Each structure stands twice: as structure tokens, then as C-alpha cells.
Amino acid sequence: MRIAIDARGLLGRQTGIGTYTRGVARELARRPQTAVGLFLPRPLSDPADGLGPVTVHADRHPLGMLWVQTTLPRRIETWRADVLLAALTIAPVRGEVPVVSVVHDLTAWTHPEWHARRTNVGFAPLWERTLERARRLICVSQATADDLLRLYPEARDRVRVVWNGVDPEFVPRPDAAARESARERYAGGEPFVLYLGTLEPRKNVATLVAACEQLWSAGIERPHLVLAGGIGWKTAPLERRIARSAFRNRIHLAGYATREVALELYRSAEVFVYPSLAEGFGLPVIEAMACALPVVASDAAALTEVGGDAALYAPASDARALAGQISRVLEEPETRRRLQAEGPSRAALFSWTATAEKTAAILAEVAAA
């Protein structure tokens, strides 16, 4: 089977969709009698190391979404692809190669106010055309599938749920010296609560700041807060919120975290907090769990699905409840030990090998039809 993948998620700084694209492409390429082609509007800035026997087909097109609609169909037909995996959801609206669309979440459709204008312009006009054309719709969680089917119940026969995986290097590695070094680099030498993800409205970081301020106001020595992740869009309110905080010196902006930095942070923090208003999957949650870092998350449906009983939850809009759950991890040794023990076991349920196996079966079904 010849699988073409829209690999735009590998361009620039990789976030969740880039991690998905890399993980599923690598494992699909390892399968027997399978050829994987990565198609991009421009060359990768980093070589495709670690992706296995894939072929990379890069053009020099300035506009990625226009490239999807005009150039990509011809390129994958010339390559004789059996099926296209639309890893960024939107697919060419025309073409001979059948399409499987990966639906990470529908927030660009349901909550456009959370997103950058370029996302809204590129997603909204083409989403329903993609929905019409896709032979299958792979949802990365049951929560995403439920959202999709509430809006489009007629798509039920084409929807499949395939969880994301976690990279195998995300494992606990207790190292006191490395922990102290990370504290010095990212938190002024102090223990720290960690958030990792793009800084943008949907992630609800301002509520985390408010929760930490409540903890610091109690007069008890508490960990600092490290916000790791690239600056996204519509961040001015968050920047103003942080700047006017009475505890500004305890809030540290670590910037975009590479895979190596993310591992260092997960292994050095006291607790990982992910207060997102809505998620399609919530990859950082299982990455933190895999590293035996206790997790506190919002009660968004995808996060409770992924985290199960191995995390603590609070309503996304309730800073006081979030502060209470963080405090439990910091102050209740039994709770902390339980989360540290159960996190890696929960994360072991998610692997890119399993993701690729289920994805390959869906792609083969479509190609055969």
C-alpha cells in the first residue's frame, strides 16, 4: 500500500499535530509492504531523521492551504498513492486519490474566537467540503468523535476513533543533579509547577496563573510557575495578566520547548497542570504521566478520557478548584505517590505502534474500496 501524508505539521516548530504526523508516519513506514510519502509545500528545515524509510516530496509553494487544493492532488497521483492521510484535517476537495481525514478537534469550527485569523480562513471554508469527500474520519479521541457526531450525525458510518501515542523516550529518569540544574535554568532555582503548550486562548493559562496566585497568597512557601511553550495568538490579555501580577517574579516564561527541553521539564517539575478549555486529545497529559509527573487537568472530556483515574481534575473556569487540586498534589504524600505510580501505567496504553496499526487498517479498507 502506498500512503501519502500531508506532512505540513512537520514544518516549523512542532506542536501536537507535528508530533502526531511524525509518530504515525514513522510507524506506518515500518510496516511490511508499505510505502509512505510525506508531501509538503516547502522543504523541511530539519532532516527527516528518525522517520524510517519514508520519501519526502517538498515543493516551494508560499501558501500551504492553496498548495493543498492545487498542487497536492497532482503530486500524490503522480506518486501513485493508494490513499491520502490528511493529517491536518483539511483535504483537497478534488482529486482521484481517496482521502482519510484526521480530526484532532473542531474548535476552529465551534469556537473561532479562540483561533488566529489564518486558521479560521484556512479551516472553516474547507471543513465541510472535506467532510463530504473523506471516505473515513479518524478522530483522535472519543470526545472528538462525539463532538463531530453531534454536529454531523450523518457521518457516523465513516467515523473511527484512534488514540494518539506517546514517544518511547518519555520515561521517568530520577536524577537529582539534573533536577536542580533544570530549576536553575527555568525557575530561578526554585521548585516549580509546569504548564507546557502553546500560549493561546483555548489553553486557559490565565486561570492557572490565578490559581497559583491563590496558593501564593496563602503565605505558605509554594513552587514557582513555569509556562513552557511558544507564543501563539491573541496572547496580549495573558501577557498583561502576568505583567500586573503581584507575584510576577514567581512566573517564568520558558519559551518554546523542544523535545529535549520538554523531557527535562517533565522530569523536574513538582506537578503538571493543563487547564485547557477544550482539547481533541491532550498529548502533554500523557507525556507528563509517562515521566511519572503528577497531573492536574481541566475536566474537558478528552482530558478525562486520556487521563482516566491517573490524574486529578477541576472545572476549567474555576481557579479555586484548580488551586485545590494542585495543593493536594503538593501536600498529600499518598495522592502524590499514587499519581506517580499510576501515570506511567496509564501512559503505556498509548503507543504510536498501536496508532499506526489501527490507522493502517482504516487506510487499507479505503484503498481496497
Which of 251, 130, 121 lies closest to 186, judged by CA?
A: 251
Quick check: 4 and 85 in contact, CB under 8 A?
A: yes
Cell, residue 246: 503581584
State the pLDDT at residue 125.
81
State the pLDDT at residue 49.
62
Question: Model confidence over 78-127: pLDDT tens digits?
Answer: 999 999 999 999 999 999 999 999 999 999 888 888 887 777 777 778 99
DSSP label of 204: -
Distances (CA, A) of 300 to 1, 104, 354: 37, 14, 24
State the pLDDT at residue 48.
59
State the pLDDT at residue 366.
97
Its sign, for the CA torsion 351, 273, 248, 216, is negative
91 Cβ partners below 8 Å, 6+ apart?
A: 6, 68, 84, 99, 101, 130, 133, 134
Show the low-confidence residues of the chain (pLDDT under 70): 47-50
Question: Model confidence over 242-276: pLDDT tens digits?
Answer: 999 999 999 999 999 999 999 999 999 999 999 99
Q: Which residue has the cell 472535506?
A: 130
State the pLDDT at residue 245.
95
pTM above 0.85, yes or no: yes
3-state secondary structure of 2: strand
Distances (CA, A) of 156 to 4, 18, 90, 210: 25, 27, 19, 40
Domains and CATH numbers, the chain: 2-164+351-368 (3.40.50.2000), 176-347 (3.40.50.2000)
State the pLDDT at residue 233.
82
